[in-house]
A and B are shown apart, each in its own frame.
Chain A
Amino acid sequence: MASVHESLYFNPMMTNGVVHANVFGIKDWVTPYKISVLSLLYEMTTSKIALQEKRRLNKLILPLQQGPDLQLGQFLKTVEDCCPQTAFAVKIRLNEMADGELKDMEFFFTTLPNPTFDSEAYKTSVVGLFIRHMLLAYNKLSFSQVYKLYKSLQHYYHMGVPTFVADDSDMDLTSTEVTIGDKMERELDSPLTFCVRNEDPVSRGPLSQKQAEYFLAKQAYLLKNDDNKALRPAKLQEELNNMLKFNPDFAEAHYLNYLNSMRVQDIYISTHSLLHYFDRLILSGSEGKSNGDEGYGRSLRYAALNLASLHCRFGHYQLADLALQEAIRIAQESNDHVCLQHCLSWLYTLEQMKGSDSSVLTEDSVKMAAHFCLPYLASLGIQSLVQQGAVQGKSAHELMDALKDTDILHWKHSLSELIEISLAQTISIWRMYGKSTMAQQQAQLLLNMSSLEPVNFGVTQNNTEAFAVALCHLAELHAEQGLYGGTTEIFKHLKEQFPPHTQHAKLWMLCDLKIQFEKHMNDGKYHLAQPLVPAIRAQNKTEGLYRKAQVLKSLSRTTEAYRILQKLQVHCEKTRCTETIIRVLLSTAELHWESSDFSTGLPLLLQALTLSRKHHLQALASRTLLHLAFTQLMLGVPEQALSVLHEALEPILAHGGIMDKGRALMLAARCQMALVATRPNGREQAAVAIHTLDEAASYFSTLNCKERLRDVRYLQARLHSSLGQTAQRNRCAMLFHLLDRELQTPRAPTDMRL
């Protein structure tokens, strides 16, 4: 039931959205700002301006004419920068109108130069068209509309020039030009006064159409490229609500609302806004266009597709699947191949997310996309294929070739986003292969690359997923080399760039946790590492389980650790997560060592070696070799061990992390020690071993890994003792003793660990 007042009196002329619907076609309305522009044009045609200044003004016309409505202060300042004299004249003219009477405005419109063939403003030129448009629009206005326009002009003028002639409003302006001029100059001396008010364009209530469009475009751009610089979610929501209250037909605002609620992970509002947007779009699509039906059906298809992507984003794969099926069906019915291609690429993404193999789909998608000349989708598909290929152990050169080919495509079409992804992918692949130098170099390349996209609103696009991935890799690389200071810096940056509530924040969160975990494990502070396990598990289940097993192993809760590792291995074999399988195999072998059962570990290690070689995972292969060598050493074949070790030593020293380097060198020294007795040049061997241990010690001390350092000192002391170097022996023994006291935990038997 309508409220009591709504129907209090009867007004047949009352209008509503329906009646106004046809009005929406007209975009050109006379606004106070437009009057200012008109007066500028008028001044330019009538008065004499120096050539230099005239040129600058000419350059200004187009942006002023087509840009959003400006505040008077801003407008005058822009003009003033080009030609102060004209700005002054424009201001006087506006002042005449605003502080005069309605007839002054009417007079202004009658004196406007009528664009003809011979005048400066040529009839069909941009300026001529604009003036004619404005005249037409003005002449169409009804009496009350003209009066309203005049009122808003006054308001506009006084908003821009707040203090001006408040005291002498009834002064005859034309006769006392001198005094006014003085005042003007005074005003113009301090142009800042114009802009002091309304610095913040959004808080000032209703926006004009252009301003609203500009606001939306800017915020949408910022959301896409760097949402830290966009308005805060709550504030933006408030603005949008405000805008929608004034004009519910502004469909784009709903879309921005959708983006904004995605930002804060609000599924209800985002779904609602998305659907609302498309409902609105369907209206505007069907209106006015000659191929109305086409545009209308099209937006329907994309509506369904967007819904699918929304559900995908929130992890509702089943719903996403249903929505996608629907989009595909409608697209098929209307033979929209482009839309179908988009659907297909979503389909394989969805399959991938669900964890099933989608390479066939992806290949199809790439082929079709290439056929329909959709470079973006094609290379996106190739990238996805490369990713799958890398996981499945395709040969490296194939992958790199594919990436290179797509890169050529990207540069050709200036698809900067894809270039970034491609670089990030290269980083990941190099890292996976264990080539840290290459990965580092690519990461630097990405981070130092200037974006191809034009820099709008002072924002370069650097909060995409690619950047997050690159930075995470970089952080891990730093951590591997024991450069924890650098890692902290990187994380600080990541935290600023990707605040915890944003989409890509999970990447660095997991990375951060992993690094912390590793650090604590290296330091032997298992009690600190343990609480991190649930956190890791929350981010990534497999990773969490693996870490849990590691902690349990370190705490000598062997049975539990073994059970978890077995479970993990089965799971990873199912999901074909090779890297984790290898790591699990290595850990299982280590567990066997704990019970001095070295030979049982051998088949596991060999399996790991085959796997890692097959997948070109050099880092893991080297680590496996390390384990193998250790096993051999323990089984009493140090010579074999040393030869195996030599195979691994080179890549480890070149690419490996500092921990691996230390461990490898220590193992090498131990092999050498074992050989001392058998070799004829025993003393030399021992000296070499001491030297190797020194190197290992330097690595361990960078990591501050005291437990291993203690082992090194012990070995060194024994070597020195065997060589009869008492002084050195005593020094090492003392160092050992100091470390031992510091650590308090009893030393594990050195023989038992790598």
Chain B
Amino acid sequence: MGLKRIQFLGAICRFCSVLFVTYGVTEFGDLVQIKKQLISVISLCKERGLVHSVKWASELAFALDPLPKDELPPSHLVSEEDVQDLDAFALAKSYFDLKEYDRAAYFLRGCHSKKAYFLYMYSRYLSGEKKKDDETVDSLGPLEKGQVRNEALRELRVELSKKHRAGELDGFTLYLYGVVLRKLDLLKEAVEVFVEATHTLPLHWGSWLELCNLVTNIEMLKSLSLPSCWIKDFFMAHIYTELQMIPGALQKYQSLIEAGFSKSTYIISQIAVAYHNIRDIDQALALFNELREQDPYRIENMDTFSNLLYVKSMKPELSYLAHNLVEIDKYRVETCCVIGNYYSLRSQHEKAALYFQRALKLNPRCLGAWTLMGHEYMEMKNTSAAIQAYRHAIEVNKRDYRAWYGLGQTYEILKMPFYCLYYYRKAHQLRPNDSRMLVALGECYEKLSQQVEAKKCYWRAFSVGDVEKMALLKLAKLQEQLTETDEAAQSYIIYIQEIFSCGEQLEHVEVSTALRYLGQYYFKNKLYDEASLCAQRCCDYNDAREEGKALLRQISQVRDQTETPSGELFVSLSDNNTPIKRVSPLNLSSFTP
């Protein structure tokens, strides 16, 4: 049943966004109801100390219109047990808020209400986690480092699994049980429990988020039977982003916005991140700027924002962002990453690496920082440290294509093109439609004189949408080397078209190379009109001016000699289905800069 539903959804999001809106209307029609649900879940989570879920729900609730006074949801039903445990719970909750978990657990041990039971177990779990992190500092030797474990996990698992079998767990405890299982690396069981948790209490975002981290591919996602609730759309959008299925994610978010969540900063940030992932930099930047206007003291996702600024080399903006964030909170991972990016842009790589290290001290599982640190070490030509950093990143997340790509680059710098093929291939597997990996692969193959493979890579890079506009040029040069003149000419033509059509002036040198080649090519094929056009264009560029002029002279010489119009020849040639005809060089005039 659930499976079918998901497939249905998938079909919708693939083919028709119109349907989507209607679907959205039916689901989200009652925004008031949603708001009510959110308000009630906020108070539930708050009681249980699930701060992140509270934050998420509150952000969403804030985005919706406020409710009139009489429509506010009534406070929860208080059961007999709750009343009994009231004092102990209040006491324990205060200790819990002060991070004295053992103490909280101690006072909750006799309580019977579900709420108290959750807090009791949760305190024990957090106490174990806290101790684990503290122990790491005091380990007795290098090997002990990895052995530090949350000792409470086993006991918790035993107790919770007993209750689970008896069916006594509510949504929150199921969630906790799932977390415990995940921490014990029992991933399969964890997924089952989280799915159950979402069924019992669909409004708790934490369960969905945990599920998100555990689902590794689309097939697995399809096999889950999830409750149908409006929150599921948020989940689907989130997981599409995680699984790099950006178009699907964007569509989902769009429909959510249309359904009435347009003010949600959460959605805006997610869309921005999604755009960042598909490298639509301008869109992402615009969204981030909007986000900062709405939520000026936000620190989350600002590292992504800084990455974008970095890519665009927007020094003043990045500097402003860095200073702003330092004022807000300098001991945050995101802040450190932003500062690292800032220093990196200023080519102060040592300092940049230092800040990334600081970020890692704050959170060793921060993936981006490892990769960025690798990049910094690369800049400093410290290849071994770079390899270390990238390897760490891969350890944290095997699917981090940037780290694989970075490793490939490192070995490429060490002049080991064959060796780095493996890493590039890995990166390419993870991002099959990213032209950068393909270009890198092509370059490696070219170095290994595997021209056929290299050509394939370049062509594929072009067909998936070349970001750096280099693939075609490289392809053309390769074909030139292999004396495949017609193919090379065609590649150059497409290259020039691409360059002019994207409106920006990238590198003149390369355009002039293409024009120079085309000029010679047409000249050799006796297409003097086209040749002279190319030669004239050549004269626009400094480095090709002389050659352009020389070619023009040659052409006029030849024309003087023959005195025959080349019209017939041209027609006969163009009928031969040569690739030249496909794109008439005269089209160039329309792209004149």
Contacts and interface: CB of A to CB of B under 8 A. Distances in A.
Interface of A: 1-20, 23-24, 26, 29-31, 141-142, 144-145, 148-149, 152, 206-209, 212, 245-249, 271, 275-276, 279-280, 282-283, 285-286, 296, 300, 303-304, 307, 319, 322-323, 325-326, 329-330, 333
Interface of B: 50-53, 99, 126, 129-130, 133-147, 179, 206, 209-210, 213, 331, 357, 360-366, 383-385, 387-388, 391-392, 395, 407, 414-419, 422-423, 448, 450
Which of A16, A249, A307 has most B Cβ within 10 Å?
A16
A10 B331 contact: yes
Contacts of A326: 416-419
A322 B133 contact: no
A4 B209 contact: yes
A378 B200 CA distance: 73
Contacts of A283: 384-385, 387-388, 391
Contacts of A13: 134, 137
A329 B147 contact: no
A540 B179 CA distance: 56
Contact of B361 (A19, A30, A333): A19
B51 A8 contact: yes
B415 A20 contact: no
A586 B467 CA distance: 67
B49 to A, nearest CB: 9
Contacts of A212: 143
A145 B138 contact: yes
Contacts of A18: 357, 360-361, 364
A691 B134 CA distance: 96
Contacts of A2: 363, 365-366
Which are the 8 A-B pairs with shortest beta-carbon distances?
A16-B364, A246-B146, A29-B141, A286-B384, A4-B52, A206-B147, A326-B418, A144-B138
Contact of A14 (B136, B179, B213, B415): B136
Nearest to A13: B137
| Interface residues of chain A: helix, strand, loop or mixed (majority) | helix
B13 to A, nearest CB: 22
A303 B209 contact: no
Contacts of B99: 9
B387 A282 contact: yes
A280 B388 CA distance: 7
Contact of A325 (B51, B362, B418): B418
Contact of B418 (A4, A142, A322): A322
B140 A152 contact: yes
B415 A330 contact: yes
Given A3-B210, A15-B137, A16-B364, A246 B387 contact: no
A207 B143 contact: yes
B126 A4 contact: no
B384 A14 contact: no
Given A16-B364, A326-B416, A206 B146 contact: yes
A22 B439 CA distance: 38
Contacts of B391: 276, 279-280, 283
Contacts of B384: 282-283, 285-286, 296
A323 B362 CA distance: 41
Contact of B142 (A23, A31, A148): A23
Contacts of B415: 329-330, 333
A209 B143 contact: yes
Contacts of A24: 142
Contacts of B147: 206, 246
Nearest to A276: B391
Nearest to A23: B142
A5 B129 contact: yes
A11 B133 contact: yes
B210 A209 contact: no
Contacts of A307: 418-419
A148 B363 contact: no
A245 B147 CA distance: 9
Nearest to B448: A322
B174 to A, nearest CB: 15
A12 B146 contact: no
A209 B331 contact: no
A271 B363 contact: no
Contact of B407 (A279, A286, A323): A279
A14 B129 CA distance: 12
Given A303-B419, A325-B418, A8 B126 contact: yes
Contacts of A11: 130, 133-134
Given A5-B179, A300-B414, A330-B415, 5 more contacts: A18-B361, A19-B361, A152-B140, A206-B143, A319-B418
Given A14-B364, A15-B136, A206-B147, A323 B418 contact: yes
Contacts of A247: 142-143, 145-146
Which of B141, B206, B360, B422 has most A Cβ within 10 Å?
B141
B143 A16 contact: no
B204 to A, nearest CB: 11
Contacts of A280: 391
A304 B387 CA distance: 16
Given A15-B361, A322-B418, A20 B146 contact: no
Contacts of B331: 10, 12
A5 B133 CA distance: 12
Contact of A12 (B362, B365, B387): B362
19 contacts: A4-B52, A6-B365, A9-B99, A10-B331, A10-B362, A29-B140, A148-B135, A149-B140, A206-B146, A206-B147, A207-B143, A208-B143, A248-B146, A275-B422, A276-B391, A280-B391, A286-B385, A322-B418, A326-B417
A285 B384 CA distance: 9
Nearest to A149: B140
A16 B213 CA distance: 22
Contacts of A31: 140-141
A603 to B, nearest CB: 47
Contacts of B140: 29-31, 141, 145, 148-149, 152
Given A206-B143, A246-B143, A246-B146, A14 B133 contact: yes
A296 B387 CA distance: 12
A102 B208 CA distance: 47
Given A29-B141, A279-B391, A17 B364 contact: yes
A307 B362 CA distance: 38
B141 A208 contact: yes
Contacts of A141: 140
Contacts of B395: 248
A216 to B, nearest CB: 13
Contact of B422 (A7, A19, A249, A271): A271
Given A3-B209, A283-B384, A245 B146 contact: yes
A241 to B, nearest CB: 11
Contacts of A285: 384
B418 A16 contact: no
A245 B416 CA distance: 30
B321 to A, nearest CB: 20
Nearest to A271: B422
B418 A12 contact: no
Contacts of B135: 148
Contacts of B133: 11, 14
Contacts of B357: 18
A331 to B, nearest CB: 12
Contacts of B51: 8
Which of B210, B407, B416 has most A Cβ within 10 Å?
B416
B581 to A, nearest CB: 39
A223 B365 CA distance: 36
A282 B50 CA distance: 43
A282 B416 CA distance: 14
A205 to B, nearest CB: 8
A361 to B, nearest CB: 21
Given A20-B142, A30-B140, A4 B206 contact: yes
Which of B50, B99, B391, B419 has most A Cβ within 10 Å?
B419
Contacts of B129: 5, 8
A206 B145 CA distance: 11
